[in-house]
Amino acid sequence: MSALFDNTPPRKNTYSFKWQKYQGKDIIPAWVADTEFRCAQPILDTLSAQIEHGNMGYILPAHHQGAINAVVRWLKDKHNWDIDPSWLVWTPGVVPAFNVACKAYCEAGDKVLIQTPNYPPLLAAPKLNGLERVDIGTVIETSQDNNGNTVQRYTIDFEALEREAADPKCKLFILCNPMNPVGSVLTQSEIDRIAAICNKNNVTLCSDEIHCDLILEPGKSHIPAGREAALAENSITLMAASKTFNVAGLGTSFAIIPNAKLRQAFTSAAAGIVPWVTVLGLAATEAAFTLCDDWHQAQLSYLRENRNKVFNAINQIEGLNMLKADATFLAWVDASGLNVDNVLNWAEEKGVGPSPGVDFHKADHFRINFGCSSAMLDDILSRLAK
């Protein structure tokens, strides 16, 4: 099945956000977090049928039983999470959803906890909503595996989280799990600790889990926040088919909010501002979550190979260093060893356009998107190595 991912549709001159930036330049775009892959055929067939039907009128998402059933089935099968369909709130993107959460659960002057480095729109959300952002750092944890090898991974600075959450002005913690850009998957004990900290301090958890179906490391699994008994009543969980199935341009995602009061506050804050998700987005989500299990598994294998390739190649380049991401198609590269003023310029001069670390609040790093054909990845890596 790897041919599915080797042969990617050309995206030059398609208005692709990722490709537009370097139009006319010999720089391979490796920044925006969408993949180069063609969507799974059942998604394309479903969208074609919807278009062929010929009517694009209003569809109230709460009436789209096909998409609702598909989400219920996916969460049960893939995440062992039994949800009640009434907990589901459709949102036209995860970015609008965490901004709505800021409005719904905070008042002017309140504080929002966010771990850094992080996805730029997440870092921007508190200020956009008249709130103060409190940064919680990311630390490297070192341990030994069963064979006595040293293993390193990024995780949240829990001491900082504990300390900052105690401020009564803190009302919301926007978590990103799996973590973008560092690629870590939080463990059960870490989720338990987050639950304890949030509950003790009356902080609501908004958990951005958009990358949760992209777990690459064998033996690791994703723990949805809302599935945890200790968090069910005090959290909202944000998910989508968008990253995994490369349908992000269709602007369709969903929040799972088991607590009726939190759900009501969320829908009230969204009212009149946030549009319904589109008919095509609902159709694509239904197809992704019902007809594409094999494609999903095949993509995970392909991405795992790509991840291993990036990890090995980057760590051989003098001045660069990275830890192996457990999840996502994003590699977080520590370029501090280059001792250059601008790591983006350094990469662009070599013909590669990563996401600059400064946007994630870590200027001496950059992020490479490895959700591409292995041939494109080889080109990216050999350019960086020159």
Residues 4-23 that bind ligand PLP (CB under 6 A): none
Smallest distance, ligand PLP to C-beta of residue 103, A: 16
d(CA 38, CA 373): 11
Smallest distance, ligand PLP to C-beta of residue 105, A: 18
| Alpha-carbon distance values, 2 to 8, 161, 339, 377 (Å) | 11, 42, 38, 14
Nearer to ligand PLP, 176 or 352 (CB): 176
The count of residues interacting with ligand PLP (CB under 6 A) is 13
d(CA 7, CA 92): 29
Nearer to ligand PLP, 240 or 343 (CB): 240
Tokens of 262: 């939190």
Write each residue from 29 to 68 as x if it is in contact with ligand PLP (CB under 6 A), else as -, in one continuous string. ----x-----------------------------------
| Alpha-carbon distance values, 332 to 106, 165, 373, 374 (Å) | 31, 27, 19, 18
Q: In which region does residue 202 sit, left (phi positive, over 0), alpha (psi from -120 to 50) or beta (all else)? A: left
Write each residue from 181 to 220 as x if it is in contact with ligand PLP (CB under 6 A), else as -, in one continuous string. ---------------------------x-x----------
Q: How many CB atoms lie within 10 A of CB 164?
A: 20
d(CA 136, CA 164): 8
- Cβ contacts of 264 within 8 Å, gap of 6 or more: none
Q: Report the relative pairing of strands 170-176 and 88-91 from DSSP bridges.
A: unpaired
Query: What order do you get walking across the sheet with 170-176 strand by strand?
Result: 88-91, 253-256, 235-239, 204-208, 170-176, 111-115, 132-136
Can residue 240 be called a binding residue for ligand PLP (CB under 6 A)? yes
Element (H, E) at 365: strand 365-369
Residues 147-176 that bind ligand PLP (CB under 6 A): 176
Nearer to ligand PLP, 92 or 258 (CB): 92
- CB 228, CB 191: distance < 8 Å: yes
d(CA 327, CA 221): 9
- Cβ contacts of 170 within 8 Å, gap of 6 or more: 110, 111, 112, 113, 134, 164, 201, 203
Burial class (CB within 10 angstroms; exposed 0-12, middle 13-18, buried 19+) of 276: middle
Smallest distance, ligand PLP to C-beta of residue 32, A: 7
Q: Which of 22, 87, 119, 266 binds ligand PLP (CB under 6 A)?
A: 119
Q: Write down the residue that tokens 């200790």 correspond to.
A: 230
Give me the residue whose beta carbon is nearest to ligand PLP: 93
Distance, C-alpha 235 to centroid of its chain = 17
Smallest distance, ligand PLP to C-beta of residue 317, A: 25
Smallest distance, ligand PLP to C-beta of residue 354, A: 14
Nearer to ligand PLP, 68 or 247 (CB): 247
Write each residue from 76 to 115 as x if it is in contact with ligand PLP (CB under 6 A), else as -, in one continuous string. -----------------xxx--------------------
Nearer to ligand PLP, 28 or 248 (CB): 248
Q: Which of 16, 253, 278, 285 binds ligand PLP (CB under 6 A)?
A: 253
Nearer to ligand PLP, 208 or 334 (CB): 208
Smallest distance, ligand PLP to C-beta of residue 60, A: 20
Can residue 239 be called a binding residue for ligand PLP (CB under 6 A)? no
Can residue 180 be called a binding residue for ligand PLP (CB under 6 A)? yes
Nearer to ligand PLP, 155 or 336 (CB): 155
| Alpha-carbon distance values, 381 to 27, 201, 222, 346 (Å) | 12, 46, 29, 14
Nearer to ligand PLP, 119 or 266 (CB): 119
Smallest distance, ligand PLP to C-beta of residue 349, A: 25
Smallest distance, ligand PLP to C-beta of residue 209, A: 9
- CB 328, CB 184: distance < 8 Å: no
Q: Which of 16, 207, 242, 244 binds ligand PLP (CB under 6 A)?
A: 242
Contact positions vs ligand PLP (CB under 6 A): 33, 93-95, 119, 176, 180, 208, 210, 240, 242, 248, 253
